[in-house]
Amino acid sequence: MSRILRAQHDSFPLSQPFRISRGVKTQAEVVTVELEQGGVVGRGEGVPYARYDESIESALAAIDDARDAVQGGTDRAQLLGLLPPGAARNAIDCALWDLEARLGGRSVADKIGAPEPERLVSALTVGIDTPMAMAVTASRIANAPLIKVKVDATIPDAQIRAVRNAAPNAKLIVDPNESWDQQLVRAMQRVLVDLKVDLLEQPVSAEADEWLEDFTPEVPICADESVHVAEDLDVIARRYQVVNVKLDKSGGLTEALALAHAARARGLGLMTGCMVSSSLSIAPALHIARMSDFVDLDGPIWLREDRPGGVRDDAGCLWPPQTGFWGTL
């Protein structure tokens, strides 16, 4: 068996700035991996994230370090020991899934023993802005079933209220991206209940969430930055009610499936999330999304132009990519 591994940096301009508590993004910077064997090509994508000390350069270097092993036949199970969780491993793992499907004549869904991806509800995001501007944005997507509200620690109550007033019927996820502290989390409990928020996502830093073990929230709290792989769940299960599975954190679909099943076995709720990315990141994540209570896979919706044949949003419902895009024949 002889493989050829190709990796490159691809950049996708956004149609509008994406603002969260950590800053503003105007382009999706991704690493694309292609694995070719016998003239058949499998693809995968990873999004390096500075919060986890990753960059395009470090991801490409990690992929290059693994090149000989991967080209020599390393499989997905062996890859778990070859690279740490992160964007580089995610890109290779997903390329292996795609390659296996094409070589074996069986879709990824079939290999997993699951239905093929179908249309599902996926959150549309309202980025951080003034309450008035956020209300305008929310009014444009008011009919979406699920909206994610990005906030920071300045005026989150006014921001959430503005979105709720503009979209009275949508389910709401509030995501401070680690910008709150314990005092603010406690102070916001009544506001979250009054505004019918369904989920609070990673309000405090992953390095300062121990106090959650003795806290009973009014609204379920979802671990994002605090959880990466299944081994994290011993601690996470004591602090959170829901876990956000992202393939760029877990390092691929292989570990993401293990994390999702282990979380369910512990009685935890599931969310599927993504970075700002192309549809090549989203296609494998759909296999976690079908198991999840909340889905937030709108990364490609922010792009000015996605990869051809990718996912499609229809008023907050996400349609899977065209047949043959990734993991299907």
Active site residues: 150, 246
Question: Residue 296 in contact with residue 273, Cβ under 8 Å?
Answer: yes
Phi first, then psi, for residue 133 (nearest 5°) are -65, -40
User: 232 exposed, middle or buried (CB, 10 Å; 0-12, 13-18, 19+)?
Assistant: buried
SS3 150: strand
Sign of the dihedral through C-alpha 299, 251, 65, 104:
negative
Question: Residue 88 in contact with residue 66, Cβ under 8 Å?
Answer: yes
SS3 33: strand
Rounded CA separation 318/329 (Å): 20
Question: Tokens standing for 323?
Answer: 């047949």
Strand segments (E) across 119-278 = 120-121, 124-126, 146-150, 171-175, 199-201, 221-223, 242-245, 269-272
Rounded CA separation 138/162 (Å): 8
- Which of 231, 246, 234, 243 shows the shortest CA–CA distance to 86? 246
Rounded CA separation 175/55 (Å): 23
How many other C-beta atoms lie within 10 A of the C-beta of residue 11? 9
Q: In what order do the strands lie in the sheet with 242-245?
A: 124-126, 146-150, 171-175, 199-201, 221-223, 242-245, 269-272, 294-295
